């Protein structure tokens, strides 16, 4: 069934691409089908003991596989992902108008994200999880930048991509270390690990989760991601993708239970995010940004609770995940609808919507109240569980987590109040509102109602949440969500939170300061720009385009590479010369070489090089190889003639060279020359083998059938090399022809043909 | 079976000769060229199957004893890379036939035949068991690529060609010096004998030889600090030619480094190679980030990615070398495909400059898809082949506790993604510029379709590599095991 569902997603995706924009809003209908089927399937698993699995090897040697196991947590997450996905697809059909260009691309990408997300929540192998994790980052990038004609949107997409993928790389390293310590890649088989490796892995995994779940300081991509169309914000950036980090922390917490750094790190990330996110939400004027910052805060709360690791805290965390997905998706859809029907999301411009958009207001009020933790809504028992969890802790942990939960909740109530007042209250003249679109209203009404229904059927919710929490933490087994706890300490604290929060919210809502500047986002963008500028500077240094510098670099590198030869020269094994004539000729070669380098005229240098060649031919003669010497002489002659012809087109003198550069060139040349001499002396010092001269002499005559051994070598023993070099010459000839007679399309073809066949 | 080796070398050469003399009969030339490449690819595949089943195939050229003559050796590593290389050239040739009808095409009379000479050089360099024949193979590659680079006679090409040819000829000279050292020190240029005799040398001479050849082959492979010729010259050539260069030439350099330095037991150079690998990754990717042109970005990426393969080698463990082998298999087609897509971008927008192009995701969504898949693979994102290769290297690096290089490789891959995002933002997103697009002609449309379909085929090929990553990894591991035990090679060649 797992494979079938994944295939259904893929088929629907391909169908949308095939249909293209001409299908208009129908693409969302196609996309909704696999989401609906998956939701129903996962709903049947909720609360049950059945955990379907599926496996397919990919690269066995690296333990890469597609391994899925849909446990209670997976089933719950699937219902959230696919269920909200279904609502979002329906909603999108209302959000977009029929003729929107790129609607099919949008639908296909959104469905691809949905596929990646279900793959992620089903994963039982860390590598399966990683694969889908990265896929969600990529699809998120594409969706954030969907309206790509705006430069700001493109920058936001790039920022989101870089932060989440950097997190992905931390995750990659962390997972390699985890697999190394635990000896398996299967999450279900992984025991607790400890030690230095495990600590490094834990830090890496936590950082990865923090990038995905937009925890401070990695949160800066999330507000920017609000550039995406609102269905994307509702789906990816509130209800599902940002929960991937939470899921990762949940799945990893039993593995890192023994790593002492795990809890403090998670509480630190979460705690700072709770506060900073809520403060951000209080400062924004764009309703969507208020919600986005609120998401940062809420995710911080969940991560704090999960990292604490007590049974009650885990239970509370999973409860909040569920409640949050429902109310946050609904709230985003509310904002999207307002945006479409009024043309603005700025709370300073909106007015009187509670009257003009009553249904939307009702949904918003219910969902916002759930977010604030007010009964009788699902958010209330979840928040109660969190407060209970704090009361169950002790010592410093109780204090730190307690401050985070209580202060965070107060601020949550405050920004919720401000949101409701800002968006819906009457504030001057009523905003004009366009006609209702059923496709948008229906899903948000359903999601709004769910917050209430969830509270009414709280026992059923407990039956779903408890096994999911128990999968993460065995000790969560004993807890349940309570509708009406009575006047317990926790309830009193909750009541206090709501009261204080309301006051703060009302006060803040009346003030309208200037819009805060996105400092974090700018910092990231300037970091990226700094990297780009640094790269440009570095490249300017390295890649300056001067051929002489490249040659000098290469010669110097080669000279350095020859350094080890210095230790291998065995002066006893070497002798000076076979005959003194060699010394004279060698001296001549060196002298002409130096002259060639020193003369200022090009012709003089060419003649000097010819002189080097002559001296070398002399060395061949002295060594008893007159035929080689003859060949060399011929080559030298041709080369000098070639130089003389070619030099006619150039200035007579070399261009002048600065002193420093001249010194560098002299030093590098000398180094290279010495290096070659040293290397040859070292190589000849203690050979470990001798050329098979006798065998060549014997077999060359017998099998090769020739007395001139050089000829036998060239034409028989190493005939392949000769063939190759002949082809080299031919190609050079062809190349020269091509350059001498530049082609003019096909008209010049016969001419070239004639030349080549000569 | 050794006949296959001979045919793979000689077949394209013969076809090249036919191509040069068939004058204006362009269709005949196309048929011969594609036929020869397809034949060579098929034979290479057959050879790979044979090697996989029955072990290394050795051809003694002219029947001479290995002590005297030349041997060509197809072991698993060679056969695997050979198949990938030849298949890649084949696809590019088909694309080139399509591109001929556009303003960006190369001269067809020369490009086909020269590509075949280049193919022979590549096959020879891969298959040879002889250091001097390797030199000849490099010469064939160098001279044919130089002519391919400059044959259109454009000013920028001639200037870039100068840098290219001078640097590479200098490397050839150093190569010859190296052959001289080796012959003086061991009395042989046969690689099997070298595997026996080089490790017996004095430490100094041994390391000297290892470093010297790292410089020689490193220039071909474009490692730091010897890579400067590459980004200056590659972007100037016609797309098809750059695509072949990008996919193959530097990779042959890496192939030879892996071959030579494992065979001669250069484990001691591991740390040096790792340092070079890390710097190459970073400097290369920095270059890519600095560019504002698709082809130039991709050219710098060639350099950067070389670092990854060297990283695998530098670890000198089976896992590391296997990672390098897999990376090579992944990188040859990926790099080529990206350049082919670069050609499609030029086709669609009339430019490869990020500032001038834009909005292709709306006007040419299929090109966007063809770019996105290999680009993600290049950046090492799952579920593509680049991810498997990168994971293998990171895994190997962590097991060898080579933390610095692992960190560098991960940082470099973030930058890789950033530069791919740069192309995506510049070319595919934003507003389309209609005015830059040239008006298509009838022949142009047909050629365009051929370019599209061959690129699509190549992209599909890279996906197949991802799907077959399991078996390919097994093969890479076997190849790496053989590479790290040179006695296997020696025995197979000398028996």
**pLDDT tens-place string over residues A424-442:** 998 888 888 998 888 899 9
Question: What's the count of helices (H) and strands (E) in chain B, helices before strands?
Answer: 21, 2
Residue A212: pLDDT band (50, 70, 90) is very high
Q: Give the pLDDT of residue B104.
A: 62
**Contacts (Cβ under 8 Å, ≥6 apart) of B72:** B2, B5, B6, B9, B58, B59, B61, B124, B127, B128, B129, B133
Q: Is residue A93 part of a domain?
A: no
The 10s digit of each residue's pLDDT in A113-142 is 999 999 999 999 999 999 999 999 999 999
Q: Give the pLDDT of residue A514.
A: 74
Cβ–Cβ contacts within 10 Å for residue A6, how many? 19
Residue of A311, A292, A298, A303 lying closest to A268 (CA atoms)? A303
Highest mean pLDDT among A610-619, A736-745, B144-153: A610-619
Residues 178-197 of A with CB under 8 A from B: 180
Q: Residue range A369-375: average pLDDT?
A: 93
Beta bridge partners of A623: none
Across the interface, do B133 and A721 touch by the CB < 8 Å criterion? yes
Residue of B78, B58, B77 lying closest to B66 (CA atoms)? B58
**Nearest CA distance, A261 vs chain B (angstrom):** 21
Q: Sort out which chain B residues have CB atoms less than 8 A from A749's CB and list them.
A: 23-24, 109
Across the interface, do B226 and A134 touch by the CB < 8 Å criterion? no
Q: Is residue A670 part of a domain?
A: yes
Q: What is the mean pLDDT of chain B?
A: 92
Do A433 and A491 belong to one domain?
Answer: yes
Q: Give the pLDDT of residue B225.
A: 92
Backbone Cα Rg of chain A: 38
- Give the side-chain half-sphere CA count within 13 A for A696: 19
**Nearest CA distance, B38 vs chain A (angstrom):** 22
Q: Is residue A756 part of a domain?
A: yes
Would you call A745 an interface residue with chain B, using a CB distance cutoff of 8 Å? no
Q: Residue range B91-100: average pLDDT?
A: 88
Q: Which residues of A123-160 are buried (b: 16+ CB within 10 A; e: fewer)?
A: bbbbbbbbbbbbbbbbbbbbbbbbbbeeeebbbbbbbb
Across the interface, do A539 and B181 touch by the CB < 8 Å criterion? no
Across the interface, do A555 and B146 touch by the CB < 8 Å criterion? no
Would you call B61 an interface residue with chain A, using a CB distance cutoff of 8 Å? yes
Strand locations in A22-114, DSSP E?
53-59, 64-69
**Contacts (Cβ under 8 Å, ≥6 apart) of A83:** A35, A39, A43
* Spacing of C-alpha A490 from chain mean position: 43
Q: Which residue of B has its CA nearest to A201?
A: B398
Q: Give the pLDDT of residue A571.
A: 87
Of A487, A511, A535, the residue that ends a domain is: A511
Residue of A506, A463, A367, A540 lying closest to A75 (CA atoms)? A463
Q: How many domains does chain A have?
A: 3
Do A614 and A745 belong to one domain?
Answer: no
**Contacts (Cβ under 8 Å, ≥6 apart) of B312:** B320, B321, B322, B323, B324, B325, B327, B392, B393, B396
Q: Sort out which chain A residues have CB atoms less than 8 A from B171's CB and list them.
A: 554
Helix, strand, or coil (residue A183) = coil
Please give the model's pTM, rounded to 2 decimal places.
Answer: 0.94
Do A506 and A574 belong to one domain?
Answer: no
Q: Which residue of A has its CA nearest to B211?
A: A561
CA distance linking residue A520 with residue A526, whole number of Å: 10
Q: Give the pLDDT of residue A738.
A: 82
CB burial of residue B48 (10 Å; 0-12, 13-18, 19+): buried
Q: Give the pLDDT of residue A750.
A: 37
Q: Say which residue the tokens 């100094």 belong to.
A: B204
**Nearest CA distance, A383 vs chain B (angstrom):** 38
Higher pLDDT, B440 or A30: A30
Pair B233, B142: CB distance under 8 Å: no
Residue A746: pLDDT band (50, 70, 90) is very low
Q: Residue range B155-166: average pLDDT?
A: 88
Question: What's the count of helices (H) and strands (E) in chain A, helices before strands?
Answer: 30, 2
Across the interface, do A720 and B70 touch by the CB < 8 Å criterion? yes
Instruction: Tell whether omega for the bond before B225 is within 30 degrees of 0, i.e. cis.
Output: yes
Residue of B370, B305, B381 lying closest to B340 (CA atoms)? B370
The 10s digit of each residue's pLDDT in B359-404 is 899 888 999 999 999 999 999 999 999 999 999 999 999 999 999 9
Strand locations in B343-390, DSSP E?
none
Kind plus residue range of the DSSP H or E element containing B438: none
Helix, strand, or coil (residue A578) = coil
Do A661 and A750 belong to one domain?
Answer: no
Rounded to the nearest 5 degrees, what angle is found at the Cα of A677, between the Cα atoms of A675 and A682? 95
Residue of A316, A367, A309, A310 lying closest to A337 (CA atoms)? A367
Backbone Cα Rg of chain B: 21
Q: Give the pLDDT of residue B471.
A: 95
Do A293 and A383 belong to one domain?
Answer: yes
Do A660 and A697 belong to one domain?
Answer: no
Do A304 and A381 belong to one domain?
Answer: yes
The 10s digit of each residue's pLDDT in B181-212 is 999 999 999 999 999 999 999 999 999 999 99
CB nearest B150 (choices: A539, A569, A735): A735
Q: Which residue of A has its CA nearest to B231?
A: A543
CB burial of residue A658 (10 Å; 0-12, 13-18, 19+): exposed
Across the interface, do B205 and A683 touch by the CB < 8 Å criterion? yes
Q: Tell me the two tokens of residue A543.
A: 């890649």
Instruction: Tell whether omega for the bond before B383 is within 30 degrees of 0, i.e. cis.
Output: yes
Residues A221, A224, A226, A228, Cα dihedral to 10°:
-90
Question: Residue A397's domain spans which residues?
Answer: 286-511
**Nearest CA distance, A280 vs chain B (angstrom):** 28
Do A678 and A694 belong to one domain?
Answer: no
- CA distances for A313 relative to A373, A386, B419, B469, angstroms: 17, 6, 42, 42
The 10s digit of each residue's pLDDT in B204-235 is 999 999 999 999 999 999 999 999 999 988 88
Rounded to the nearest 5 degrees, what angle is found at the Cα of A149, between the Cα atoms of A144 and A155? 50
Do A684 and A749 belong to one domain?
Answer: no
Across the interface, do B474 and A545 touch by the CB < 8 Å criterion? no
Q: Which residue of A has its CA nearest to B280?
A: A542
Q: Is residue A520 part of a domain?
A: no
Q: Which residue of B has its CA nearest to A681?
A: B181
What are the φ and ψ backbone dihedral angles of B411, each rounded to 5 degrees? -60, -45
Residue of B338, B374, B337 lying closest to B458 (CA atoms)? B337
Is the ipTM higher than 0.90? The answer is yes
CB nearest B398 (choices: A148, A176, A550): A176
Helix, strand, or coil (residue A347) = coil
Q: Residue range A495-519: average pLDDT?
A: 85
Distance in Å from the first CA to the final CA of chain B? 16
3-class secondary structure per residue, B273-303: HHHHHHHHHHHHHHHHHHCCEHHHHHHHHHH
Across the interface, do B167 and A566 touch by the CB < 8 Å criterion? no
Q: Residue range B329-343: average pLDDT?
A: 94
Do A482 and A554 belong to one domain?
Answer: no
Residue of A209, A273, A232, A193 lying closest to A107 (CA atoms)? A232
CA distance linking residue A707 with residue A690, whole number of Å: 22
Q: What is the mean pLDDT of chain A?
A: 91
Residue of A227, A228, A208, A226 lying closest to A218 (CA atoms)? A208
Would you call A554 an interface residue with chain B, using a CB distance cutoff of 8 Å? yes
Across the interface, do A699 and B139 touch by the CB < 8 Å criterion? no
What are the φ and ψ backbone dihedral angles of A282, each rounded to 5 degrees? -75, -20
Q: Give the pLDDT of residue B441.
A: 66
- Give the side-chain half-sphere CA count within 13 A for A291: 32
Do A700 and A668 belong to one domain?
Answer: no
Do A693 and A672 belong to one domain?
Answer: no
Q: Give the pLDDT of residue B439.
A: 62
Q: Which residue of A has its CA nearest to B120?
A: A724
Q: Say which residue the tokens 């150093």 belong to.
A: B174
Domain map of chain B by residue range?
Answer: 2-494
Across the interface, do B208 and A564 touch by the CB < 8 Å criterion? yes
Q: Residue range A248-265: average pLDDT?
A: 94
CA distance linking residue B205 with residue B185, whole number of Å: 8
């Amino acid at each position: 069934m797992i494979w079938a569902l994944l295939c259904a997603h893929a088929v629907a995706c391909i169908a949308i691409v095939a249909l293209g924009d001409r299908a208009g809003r129908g693409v969302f209908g196609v996309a909704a089908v696999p989401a609906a089927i998956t939701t129903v399937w996962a709903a049947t698993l909720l609360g049950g003991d059945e955990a379907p699995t599926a496996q397919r090897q990919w690269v066995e040697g690296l333990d890469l596989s597609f391994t899925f196991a849909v446990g209670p947590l997976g089933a719950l997450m699937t219902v959230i992902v696919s269920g909200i996905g279904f609502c979002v697809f329906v909603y999108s059909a209302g959000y977009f108008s029929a003729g929107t260009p790129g609607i099919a691309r949008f639908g296909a990408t959104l469905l691809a994200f949905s596929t990646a997300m279900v793959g992620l929540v089903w994963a039982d192998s860390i590598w399966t999880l990683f694969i889908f994790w990265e896929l969600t980052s990529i699809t998120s990038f594409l969706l954030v930048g969907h309206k790509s004609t705006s430069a700001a949107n493109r920058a936001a997409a790039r920022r989101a991509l870089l932060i989440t993928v950097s997190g992905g790389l931390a995750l990659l390293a962390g997972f390699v270390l985890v697999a190394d310590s635990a000896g398996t890649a299967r999450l279900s088989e992984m025991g607790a690990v400890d030690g230095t490796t495990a600590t490094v892995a834990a830090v890496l995994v936590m950082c990865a989760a923090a990038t995905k779940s937009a925890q401070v300081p990695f949160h800066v991509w999330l507000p920017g991601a609000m550039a995406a169309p609102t269905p994307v914000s509702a789906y990816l950036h509130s209800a599902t993708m940002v929960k991937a980090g939470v899921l990762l922390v949940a799945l990893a917490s039993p593995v890192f239970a023994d790593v002492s750094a795990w809890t403090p790190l998670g509480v630190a990330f979460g705690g700072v995010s709770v506060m900073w996110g809520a403060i951000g939400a209080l400062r924004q004027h764009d309703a969507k940004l208020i919600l986005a910052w609120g998401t940062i805060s809420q995710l911080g709360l969940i991560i704090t609770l999960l990292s604490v690791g007590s049974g009650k805290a885990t239970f509370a965390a999973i409860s909040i995940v569920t409640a949050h997905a429902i109310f946050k998706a609904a709230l985003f859809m509310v904002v999207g609808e307002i945006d479409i029907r009024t043309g603005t999301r700025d709370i300073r411009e909106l007015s009187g919507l509670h009257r003009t958009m009553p249904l939307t207001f009702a949904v918003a009020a219910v969902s916002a109240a759930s977010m604030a933790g007010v009964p009788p809504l699902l958010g209330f028992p979840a928040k109660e569980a969190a407060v209970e969890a704090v009361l169950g802790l002790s010592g410093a942990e109780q204090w730190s987590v307690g401050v985070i939960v209580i202060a965070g909740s107060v601020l949550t109530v405050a920004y919720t109040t401000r949101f409701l007042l800002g968006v819906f209250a009457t504030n001057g003249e009523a905003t004009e509102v366009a006609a209702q679109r059923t496709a948008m209203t229906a899903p948000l009404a359903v999601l709004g109602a769910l917050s209430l229904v969830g509270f009414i059927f709280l026992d059923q919710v407990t039956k779903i949440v408890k096994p999911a929490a128990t999968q993460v933490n065995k000790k969560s087994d004993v807890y349940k969500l309570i509708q009406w706890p009575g006047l317990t300490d926790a309830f009193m604290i909750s009541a206090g939170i709501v009261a204080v929060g309301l006051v703060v919210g009302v006060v803040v809502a009346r003030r309208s300061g200037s819009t805060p500047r996105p400092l974090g986002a700018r910092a990231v963008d300037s970091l990226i720009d700094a990297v780009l500028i640094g790269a440009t500077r570095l490249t300017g240094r390295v890649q300056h385009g001067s051929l002489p510098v490249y040659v000098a670099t290469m010669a110097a590198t080669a000279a350095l590479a020859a350094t080890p030869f210095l230790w291998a020269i065995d002066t006893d094994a070497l002798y000076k010369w076979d005959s003194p004539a060699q010394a004279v000729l060698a001296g001549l070669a060196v002298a002409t070489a130096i002259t060639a380098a020193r003369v200022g005229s090009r012709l003089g240098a060419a003649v000097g090089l010819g002189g080097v060649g002559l001296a070398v031919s002399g060395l061949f003669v002295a060594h008893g190889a007159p035929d080689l010497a003859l060949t060399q002489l011929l080559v030298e002659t041709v080369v000098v003639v070639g130089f003389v012809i070619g030099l006619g087109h150039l200035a007579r003198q070399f261009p002048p060279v600065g002193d420093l550069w001249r010194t560098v060139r002299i030093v590098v040349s000398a180094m290279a020359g010495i290096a070659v001499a040293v290397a040859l002396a070292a190589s000849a010092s203690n050979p470990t083998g001798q050329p098979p001269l006798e065998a060549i002499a014997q077999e060359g005559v017998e099998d090769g059938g020739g007395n001139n051994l050089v000829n036998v070598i060239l034409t028989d023993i190493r005939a392949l090399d000769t063939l190759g070099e002949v082809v080299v010459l031919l190609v050079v000839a062809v190349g020269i022809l091509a350059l001498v007679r530049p082609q003019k399309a096909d008209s010049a073809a016969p001419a070239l043909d004639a030349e080549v066949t000569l | 079976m050794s006949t296959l080796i001979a045919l793979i070398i000689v077949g394209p050469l013969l076809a090249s000769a036919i191509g040069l003399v068939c004058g204006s009969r362009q269709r005949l030339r196309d048929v011969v060229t594609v036929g020869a490449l397809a034949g060579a690819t098929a034979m290479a595949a057959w050879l790979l199957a044979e090697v996989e089943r029955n072990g290394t195939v050795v051809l003694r050229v002219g029947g001479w004893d290995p002590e005297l003559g030349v041997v060509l050796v197809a072991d698993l590593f060679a056969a695997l890379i050979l198949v990938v290389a030849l298949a890649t050239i084949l696809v590019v040739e088909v694309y080139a036939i399509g591109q001929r009808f556009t303003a960006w095409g190369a001269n067809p009379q020369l490009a086909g035949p020269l590509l075949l000479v280049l193919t022979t050089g590549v096959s020879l360099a891969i298959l040879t068991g002889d250091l001097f024949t390797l030199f000849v193979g490099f010469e064939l590659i160098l001279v044919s690529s130089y002519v391919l680079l400059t044959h259109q006679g454009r000013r920028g090409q001639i200037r870039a060609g100068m840098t290219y040819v001078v640097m590479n000829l200098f490397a050839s000279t150093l190569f010859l010096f190296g052959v001289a050292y080796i012959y003086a020190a061991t009395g042989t240029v046969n690689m099997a004998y070298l595997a026996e005799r080089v490790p017996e040398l004095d430490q100094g001479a041994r390391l000297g030889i290892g470093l010297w050849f790292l410089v020689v082959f490193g220039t071909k492979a474009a490692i730091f600090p010897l890579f400067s010729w590459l980004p200056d010259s590659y972007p100037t050539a016609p797309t098809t030619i750059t695509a072949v260069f990008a996919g193959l030439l530097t990779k042959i350099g890496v192939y030879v480094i892996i071959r030579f330095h494992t065979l001669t037991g250069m484990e001691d150079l591991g740390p040096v190679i790792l340092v070079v690998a890390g710097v190459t990754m970073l400097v290369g990717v920095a270059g890519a980030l600095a560019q504002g042109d698709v082809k130039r970005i991709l050219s710098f990426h060639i350099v950067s990615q070389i670092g990854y393969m060297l990283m695998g080698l530098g670890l000198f463990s089976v896992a590391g070398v296997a990672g390098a082998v897999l990376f090579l298999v992944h990188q040859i087609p990926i790099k080529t495909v990206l350049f082919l897509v670069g050609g499609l971008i030029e086709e669609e927008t009339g430019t490869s400059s990020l500032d001038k192009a834009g909005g292709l995701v709306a006007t040419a969504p299929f090109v966007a898809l063809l770019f996105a898949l290999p680009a993600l693979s290049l950046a090492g994102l799952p579920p593509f082949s680049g991810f498997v290769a990168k994971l293998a290297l990171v895994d190997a690096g962590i097991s060898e506790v080579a933390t610095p290089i692992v960190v560098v490789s991960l940082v470099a891959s973030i930058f890789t993604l950033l530069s791919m995002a740069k192309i995506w933002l510049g070319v595919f997103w934003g507003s389309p510029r209609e005015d830059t697009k040239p008006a298509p002609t009838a022949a142009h449309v047909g050629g365009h379709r051929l370019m599209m379909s061959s690129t699509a085929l190549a992209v599909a090929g890279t996906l197949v590599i991802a799907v077959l990553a399991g078996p390919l990894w097994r093969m890479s591991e076997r190849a790496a095991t053989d590479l790290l035990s040179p006695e296997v090679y020696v025995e197979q060649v000398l028996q």
